[in-house]
Structure 1
Amino acid sequence: MTQLHIESLGHGPDLVLLHGWAMHSGIWSGVQDQLAQQFRLHLVDLPGHGLSPMSEPGTLEHWVEIITEILPERCMLGGWSLGGQIAMELALREPRQVQKLILISTTPCFAKNEDWESGMERKLLQLFLENLKLNYATTINRFLTLQMSGDRGASKILSQLRKHFFQRDEPNPVALEKGLKILQQSDLRDRIAAIQQPVLLLHGENDVITHPAAADWMHEQLPQSRRVMFAHCGHAPFLSYPEQFVTCLNEFRIHA
């Protein structure tokens, strides 16, 4: 078993949060204190990210297996971007443990296909993968900038993102490559309707990484879902609208 780094704080029902590609659990620092007033909060570093060691083979299924071992017996589970795909897999695999699901700027399929226009161009994902090996820092900065595209507070939030990112050691290069390959290959569209838990969909209306139409599509497929769109917001609504983000999670805890 890989020993994942987890920071737990607060009191209340268990809430587990999974960050996105190339980031770490410090990304939640702007909302964690408020959330800890209502939840027992568990902030997880994905394998090879933050303070968690890398674990092979680094597939989506393997990462899901590792995280399953540290889930509380009953919890709400939230995932941002890549973390949301992992959260969906966990909800399908462990429906007794994962009682409610929160999908933040997430899509069932990151890459654009002939039958899926709501994805990112495959050439762009491949370019990120190739450039990681050539110039890690520049590639990461481009990715962070892309996350804030279309956000009215882009410059301020981008500085927050960069600050959070460099608070801990650089992610393991192998983990970054494995994560990008998951983004390139993963497609959960044919399984998403099997998710039976209540689902909260939180999405920025100007997100260029995970298109808002993906949230619309999931909302149609998931009978127990609620969708919230954040205006003038890019890929990180918890940074752009921290108070509204916390309110959404608290209301979901009470009413879903």
Structure 2
Amino acid sequence: MDLQIKEQHGFQYVEEGSGEVLLLLHGLFGALSNWQDVVAEFSTDYRVIIPLLPIYDMPLTQAGVPGLVSYVEDFLRRLHLDQPLTVLGNSLGGHVALVYALRNPRMVQRLVLTGSSGLFEDSMGGSFPKRGNYAFVQERVAYTFYDPSIATKELVDEVFNVTNSNTKVLRIINIARSAQRHNLGKDLTKITAPTLLVWGLNDTITPPVVAHEFHRLLPNSELHFLDHCCHVPMMERPQDFNLLLRQFLRRTALEPVLT
């Protein structure tokens, strides 16, 4: 399905379906399309919302994890979303989801993390994309996936264009450094919301040991690995990811109040 971007109150976002809210947060080099299969599967039963995080154009002084969390808080207020919701985050989006949950525990009914930063990540395989070197960018984007063919020319072109913009690169560097500084190891035990961890068994950016540590520290979490899968399970193994998500949502649904 083609995702239609809405604009309201200075925010850009995707909104499909109705009912209980699933808030989807993309990563540093992620895009709305990363969640396309999740939207297609769940927008028939849920209200699926994906804010376009202002990674490349937010003020430099705010370019970091706290700034992105504040942006999400403002976005939800503007949409008058004041009921507990389910927050899903991939990579940096998972980090933002965790900090949002720590700052707004009453707003988070459930968490779903996949390839999340917050404890450790080997960003872009340990090297930042070299400006003007298309082959290097292509290699680093492919590094994100178990199957390199998923790194389509469209994805590579998008990252290549970003790395050739000084202003965008400055913000990316600030955000990446902020993510490294904001290690959540000491805070995760405070998050009591049911949490689903879905990890690629072949993740080279946030390796399986990171998933095990999240599972150890998050008191109400469950962990599932997908084989032949790297850093973006909802793109690489969409059917398996959606099945795990569907089962988790059903198991953790709130019981209706009898009157």
* TM-score calculated relative to the size of structure 2: 0.81
Q: Report whether the alignment pairs 1:59 with 2:64.
A: yes
Larger radius of gyration between Structure 1 and Structure 2? 2
**Contact 1:78 1:103 survives alignment (8 Å):** yes
Specify the SS of the correspondent of 2:246: helix
The correspondence for 2:144, drawn from 144, 147, 157, is: 147
Match for residue 17 of structure 1? 24
Does structure 1 residue 198 correspond to structure 2 residue 194? yes
Which runs of 5 or more residues in structure 2 are unaligned?
1-8, 163-167, 253-259
Contact between 2:137 and 2:160, CA under 8 Å: does it hold in 1? no
Q: 1:51-200 maps to which residues of 2 (within 5 A)? A: 53-57=57-61, 58-71=63-76, 72-73=81-82, 74-110=84-120, 119-120=121-122, 125=126, 127-128=127-128, 131-132=129-130, 134-135=131-132, 137-138=134-135, 140-148=137-145, 151=146, 154-159=147-152, 162-164=153-155, 166=157, 170-171=161-162, 172-200=168-196
- Counterpart Cα distance in 2 of 1:168 and 1:155: 15
Runs of 5+ unmatched residues, structure 1: 111-118
- Paired residues, number: 233
Matches of 1:235 and 1:204 in 2, distance apart? 6
Distance 1:121 1:176, change over 3 A: closer
C-alpha separation between the residues in 2 aligned to 1:78 and 1:106?
10
CA distance in 2, matches of 1:121, 1:7: 26
The answer on whether the counterparts of 2:64 and 2:179 sit within 8 Å (CA) in structure 1 is no
Q: Which residue of 2 aligns with 1:218?
A: 214
In 2, the alpha carbon distance for the partners of 1:187 and 1:173 equals 22
1:126-155 deviation per Cα after TM superposition (whole angstroms, max 9, x unaligned): x41xx55x337555433311111xx2xx13
Any idea what SS the aligned residue of 2:34 has?
Answer: helix
Q: CA deviation at 1:164?
A: 4.8
Q: Percent identity?
A: 25
Match of 1:241 among 229, 233, 237: 237
Provide the rounded CA distance (Å) in 2 between the counterparts of 1:94 and 1:169.
Answer: 36
Asked whether the 8 Å contact 1:27–1:164 carries over to 2, the reply is no
Partners of 2:88 and 2:97 within 8 A in 1: yes
For residues 121 and 235 of structure 1, the distance between their equivalents in structure 2, rounded to whole angstroms, comes to 11
Moved over 6 A (4+): none
Kept after mapping to 2: 8 A contact 1:205/1:231: yes
Q: Structure 1 48/251 Cα, relative in aligned 2: closer, same or farther at 3 Å?
A: same
Secondary structure of the 1:251 match is helix
